[in-house]
């Protein structure tokens, strides 16, 4: 649309009209039937996407708030081990360092997690394991099931960051033994930024830290959430709840399997285009790691500057993402998250392809046609 930028980044992402319109409401009292119903609708709709029967709470704060809620409620003074192969893994390790005795097990960004080092840390008494399921900074999907299995074997708690996978890719928190799982509102659910959701297992409740953060105190969320009608312990971001409820209902209507299949098909199309162009993905796959289905990280060919490509694409009204921190200038990233469909992906690929050509790169083959093969 004229005067609008199509956000094809790994979040925030374009919102459906229903979600935007849901915010156009006068203020309501957040302690009452209507608000409680909104909250309850979200929880019901989220459970299958988390793959959990555990309680779920909505936090009025971004995904980072949910990361801190996870670690701050079960990690205080404990031995925490954080698996890191990207920016968000690193953030979890940073937060772990504020609350506990942290060991970061680092891989090169986009490379497989070091599970043998994790096993060793667990042998040595690690009590809490953190992992980013879908590491968008490097476009890699990490093996949550295997990490959860290792954690459970050594009776450690497993905190799984599903911020950019839940609602878009397959997640089975309970089967994988994820004691705490988190998601952000502005990612695969295509709602506005500012909310996050967190699920908490019985094992996590049993090991709740004595001294917890206040605004993010899960015990307070549990107490308020068990009221009828449901409440939050402190004033919630009400318009965002209205919007997120609508986004959850849309996801519920589409259905779990359809939604996951759509996300995978869109990512397949982006990967097909990259392959046709002769460009490599950043993530290094193995039997346990694969490229993300919600954000594709593509290595720049020699001679193409990040700012040239992204500003060229921006001129066509589309925003893609560059690399973060140490990956700045080395990759560009295309999000396929939330409510987008073939038209947005094709527009993006056409714009990227044309801009690459304009900048002097000659694609090996037509990426748009390759994507189209996947999409229809």
Chain residues that interact with a copy of itself, rule: CB under 8 A = 1, 4-5, 7, 9, 11-15, 20-21, 23-30, 60-65, 67-68, 72, 94-95, 98, 184, 186, 192-195, 211-216, 234-240, 243, 319
User: CA 187 to CA 63: how far, in whole Å?
Assistant: 10
Q: Which of 374, 138, 361 minimizes the C-alpha distance to 270?
A: 374
User: CA 81 to CA 7: how far, in whole Å?
Assistant: 34
User: CA 134 to CA 127: how far, in whole Å?
Assistant: 22
Give the other-Cβ count within 10 Å of 286's Cβ. 9
Smallest separation (angstroms) from a copy of itself to the CB of 85: 21
Give whichever of 213 and 283 is closer to a copy of itself, judged by the CB atom.
213
Smallest separation (angstroms) from a copy of itself to the CB of 16: 10
Smallest separation (angstroms) from a copy of itself to the CB of 262: 19
Give whichever of 12 and 36 is closer to a copy of itself, judged by the CB atom.
12
Give whichever of 65 and 144 is closer to a copy of itself, judged by the CB atom.
65
Smallest separation (angstroms) from a copy of itself to the CB of 319: 6
Give whichever of 48 and 317 is closer to a copy of itself, judged by the CB atom.
317
Smallest separation (angstroms) from a copy of itself to the CB of 217: 9
Q: Is 331 helix (H, G, I), strand (E, B) or coil?
A: strand
Start-to-end CA distance of the chain, whole Å, equals 24
Q: Which helix (H) or strand (E) holds 5?
A: none
What b/e readout covers 226-249, taking b as 16+ CB neighbours within 10 angstroms?
eeeebbbbeebbbbbbbbbbbbbb
Give whichever of 20 and 275 is closer to a copy of itself, judged by the CB atom.
20
Give whichever of 81 and 374 is closer to a copy of itself, judged by the CB atom.
81
Give whichever of 1 and 376 is closer to a copy of itself, judged by the CB atom.
1
Contact by Cβ (8 Å): 182, 133: no
Q: Is 1 helix (H, G, I), strand (E, B) or coil?
A: coil
Q: Which of 231, 192, 193, 221 minimizes the C-alpha distance to 64?
A: 193
User: CA 14 to CA 186: how far, in whole Å?
Assistant: 9
Smallest separation (angstroms) from a copy of itself to the CB of 215: 4
Contact by Cβ (8 Å): 264, 290: no
Q: Which of 274, 252, 96 minimizes the C-alpha distance to 106?
A: 96
Smallest separation (angstroms) from a copy of itself to the CB of 348: 15
Smallest separation (angstroms) from a copy of itself to the CB of 300: 20
Give whichever of 93 and 140 is closer to a copy of itself, judged by the CB atom.
93
Smallest separation (angstroms) from a copy of itself to the CB of 69: 9
Q: Which of 294, 305, 288 minimizes the C-alpha distance to 271?
A: 294
What single string gives the DSSP state of each residue in 79-111?
Answer: EEEEEESSHHHHHHHHHHHHHSEEEEEE--TTS
Give whichever of 97 and 354 is closer to a copy of itself, judged by the CB atom.
97
């Amino acid at each position: 649309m004229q005067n609008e930028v199509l956000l094809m980044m790994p979040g925030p992402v374009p919102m459906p009209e229903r979600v935007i319109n849901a915010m156009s409401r006068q203020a309501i009292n957040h302690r009452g039937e209507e608000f409680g119903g909104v909250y309850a609708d979200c929880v019901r709709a989220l459970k299958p996407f988390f793959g959990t029967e555990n309680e779920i709470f909505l936090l009025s704060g971004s995904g980072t708030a949910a990361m801190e809620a996870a670690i701050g409620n079960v990690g205080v003074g404990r031995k925490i081990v954080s698996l890191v192969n990207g920016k968000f893994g690193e953030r979890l390790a940073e937060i772990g360092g504020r609350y506990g005795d942290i060991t970061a097990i680092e891989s090169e960004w986009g490379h497989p997690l070091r599970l043998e080092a994790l096993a060793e840390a667990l042998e040595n008494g690690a009590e809490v394991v953190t992992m980013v399921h879908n590491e968008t900074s490097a476009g890699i999907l990490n093996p949550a099931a295997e990490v959860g299995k290792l954690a459970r074997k050594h009776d450690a708690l497993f905190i799984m960051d599903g911020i950019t996978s839940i609602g878009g890719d397959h997640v089975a928190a309970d089967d994988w033994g994820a004691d705490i799982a988190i998601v952000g509102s502005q990612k695969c659910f295509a709602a506005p930024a500012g909310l996050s959701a967190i699920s908490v297992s019985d094992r996590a409740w049993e090991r709740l830290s004595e001294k917890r953060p206040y605004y993010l105190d899960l015990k307070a969320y549990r107490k308020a959430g068990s009221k009828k009608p449901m409440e939050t312990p402190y004033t919630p971001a009400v318009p965002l709840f209205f919007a997120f409820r609508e986004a959850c209902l849309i996801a519920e209507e589409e259905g779990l399997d359809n939604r996951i299949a759509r996300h995978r098909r869109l990512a397949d199309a982006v990967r097909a285009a990259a392959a046709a162009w002769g460009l490599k993905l950043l993530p290094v796959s193995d039997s346990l790691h694969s490229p993300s289905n919600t954000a594709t990280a593509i290595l720049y060919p020699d001679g193409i500057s990040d700012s040239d490509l992204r500003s060229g694409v921006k001129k066509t009204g589309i925003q893609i993402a560059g690399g973060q921190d140490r990956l700045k200038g080395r990759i560009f990233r295309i999000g396929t998250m939330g409510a987008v469909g073939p038209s947005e992906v094709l527009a993006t690929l056409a714009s990227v392809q044309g801009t690459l050509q304009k900048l002097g790169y000659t694609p090996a083959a037509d990426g748009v046609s390759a994507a189209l093969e996947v999409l229809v």
